Amino acid sequence: MTEQFRCPSCQAPYAVVRVETDEKEQLGQVNCTECSFPFSAYENGSILKYFKTASSNVRALRK
């Protein structure tokens, strides 16, 4: 199951995959590949993995 996510800072599009885990320890932080905005890597018992999706930003479309 994937969810769509956009970086709240630069609007870069990501697909988010949730992976259930029993680990309770702090996980490494995830950062936007475009602007380094920090995303949460853990939520409600699941690890969040972010995959940048094909760019569909306005600049590319105007080419």
Q: List contacts with Zn ion (CB under 5 A).
A: 7, 9-10, 12, 32, 34-35, 37
Q: At closest approach, how far in Å is the CB of 17 from Zn ion?
A: 18
* Beta strand residue intervals within the chain, DSSP E: 2-6, 13-20, 30-31, 38-39, 42-43, 46-52
Q: At closest approach, how far in Å is the CB of 55 from Zn ion?
A: 12
- Give every CB contact of residue 63 below 8 A, 6+ residues apart in sequence: none
Indicate the residue among 16 and 34 with the shorter CB distance to Zn ion. Answer: 34
Indicate the residue among 11 and 21 with the shorter CB distance to Zn ion. Answer: 11
